[in-house]
Amino acid sequence: MRLRPKRTPVSAAILWIYSLLTLLLLCYMTYQSLRPKKELLSATFGMPKHFGFGNFRKLFAEAGFFTYLLNSALILFGSLAIVVLLSTMVAYGIGKFNFRFKGGLLLYFLIGLMFPVQLGIVPIFLLIRDMHLLNSQWAVILVLASGLSMPVFLLTTFFARLPHDLYESAKIDGAGEWTTFLRVMFPLASPVTFSVCIIMSMQIWNQFFVPLIFLQSESRKTIPLMIMKFTTNVLYNMDLALVGSVMATVPLLILFFFFSGRVIEGVAAGGVKG
């Protein structure tokens, strides 16, 4: 019994062309990033004469790549830590305990899915201004970490299905509420937490709008904002735009290809429920 035709030449060709196009683009960008600026502008398609890591040195030494990387990492891990901890706690509270306004509370956490971030950004801006957090990474972390709707939804579904015996037996063993949560429940949720981490990381790492609004000084900005700085004046900063793009992209993609199966599973798990 055959599940699919032996030959699907057209489909195979389409898939190959699409995949190779992406790969070619990345290779082309990497190759160009190894050429000095003068050569790039005078002979973009000429045969390479000087190959080297000069542009990379310039990116790290003069353009302060590490600062941007550090800022991006701080915002990513800061928001992620808050989201994971708080959403697991909320989901556990709603999913495992019985109280009167349970359904209403879950709905309250879900309405966030309906609102584009732009709708509230002016009041958030004013709020952050009054808290004297403008131009601080904390502003971005707080705003991004408050997007609890999707994680709460996924995790509540998980906790609601969890057999109640686990909770009871932890109680009998004399564990307090917090011990039960941290030692038993939090680890149990790890497959769902993993999904949440993957989906949120992708959102936060590529987040452009929120950092743009709140971060003004160059020393606080994130990698996407750095790339934009180089590309707005592309002919002047061609070399930095190239190496910046390569540094922001290639390591991450290599990492993704190693774990692609797990990552894609995580995304799919979030999507089927969502």
Residues 193-252 that bind other proteins (CB under 8 A): 202, 205-206, 208-209, 212-213, 216, 223-225, 227-228, 231-232, 234-235, 238, 241, 245, 248-249, 252
Q: Does 15 bind other proteins (CB under 8 A)?
A: yes
Q: Does 172 bind other proteins (CB under 8 A)?
A: no
Dist CA 37 CA 187 (whole Å): 51
Window contacting other proteins (CB under 8 A); options: 52-60, 61-69, 73-81, 123-131: 123-131
Three-state DSSP state, 212:
helix
Dist CA 132 CA 126 (whole Å): 10
Residue with Cβ nearer other proteins (43 or 61): 43
Alpha helices in the chain (DSSP H): 9-33, 37-42, 54-61, 65-96, 102-110, 117-130, 137-145, 149-161, 165-172, 177-179, 186-188, 190-205, 209-214, 223-231, 238-258, 260-273
- What residues numbered 16-45 form the site for other proteins, per CB under 8 A? 18-19, 22-23, 25, 28-29, 32, 40-41, 44-45
Contact pattern for other proteins over residues 60 through 99, marking x by CB under 8 A: ----------------------x---xx-xx-xxx-xx-x
Q: Does 112 bind other proteins (CB under 8 A)?
A: yes
Least CB distance to other proteins at residue 20 (A): 8
